Amino acid sequence: MAFKKKSIVAILAAGGVVCTASWAASVSVVGLFKDKAIVSIDGGKPRTLSVGQTVQGVRLLTADSGSASFDVDGKRRTLGMGQSFAGGAQPGARQSVSLTADARGHFSAAGAINGYPMTFLVDTGATTIAISATEARRIGLDYKAGQAAGVNTAAGVVPAWRVTFNTVKVGGISVNQVEGLVMETGLSVPLLGMSFLNRMEMRRDGQTMTLTQRY
């Protein structure tokens, strides 16, 4: 398995992320306290909510050390530590997310792998989703149990392992059982490759890219 050289080069120039989902937000709980909860919304950076506070359409109703209750699009959701809720599309509709290019024309996407938030660089030149060994250890992935492989980069062949991610989320889109690659070195930003993008309809309009889930 190989990546185009431009895929690795583009990592170094990746910029910020603007990501808006068409439907309800996804919420992951990463911390619980009395009347407060630390949450990741749509795979974004964890932030602290106080009871009664509303952020991105998510309102914290109650919280203690055991669980937190939220109002998400008018529905009450109760989550424990480490649990998440992915907002569903309206009946008959498909999930969609819009990404905005940075000044260099690169698209980034806030998302999560196996429930752990991270920001991807969209890369159609990457065969699969790819993350670094450091990221894999952060999310508790036993990547060395996967199939050993080598990846050709501008710096030579880098040790890597083929793995399968249980869930990959971008905005409100959630896909199960996605092929991925963990690279030992040479990768500083997670790549959102074709193992995920092949399940999307991709439409670009100027500086905006829209991903719509096929299945």
Which domains are delineated in the chain?
A: 5-21+92-213 (2.40.70.10), 26-86 (2.30.30)
Four-point Cα dihedral 36, 39, 45, 48, nearest 10: -10
Closest by CA to 173, choosing from 204, 205, 191, 196, is 196
Question: Can you name the residues that pair with 85 across neighbouring β-strands?
Answer: 27
pLDDT for res 5: 39
Q: How many residues belong to the chain?
A: 215
pLDDT for res 28: 80
Question: Per residue, what are the HEC states of the chain?
Answer: CCCCHHHHHHHHCCCCCCEEECCCCEEEEEEEECCEEEEEECCCCCEEEECCCEECCEEEEEECCCEEEEEECCEEEEEECCCEEECCCCCCCCCEEEEECCCCCCCEEEEEECCEEEEEEECCCCCCEEEEHHHHHHCCCCHHHCEEEEEEECCEEEEEEEEEEEEEEECCEEEEEEEEEEECCCCCCCEECHHHHCCEEEEEECCEEEEEECC
Look up the pTM and report it: 0.60
Token couple for 10: 């583009």
pLDDT for res 154: 75
> pLDDT (tens digit, 0 to 9) for every residue of the chain, 215 residues total?
444 434 443 333 333 333 333 344 578 888 899 999 998 877 677 889 999 998 877 889 999 988 999 888 778 888 888 777 765 544 445 788 888 888 889 999 889 999 899 999 999 999 999 999 999 999 999 999 999 998 887 778 889 999 999 999 998 889 999 999 999 988 989 999 999 999 999 998 888 899 998 86
pLDDT for res 49: 93
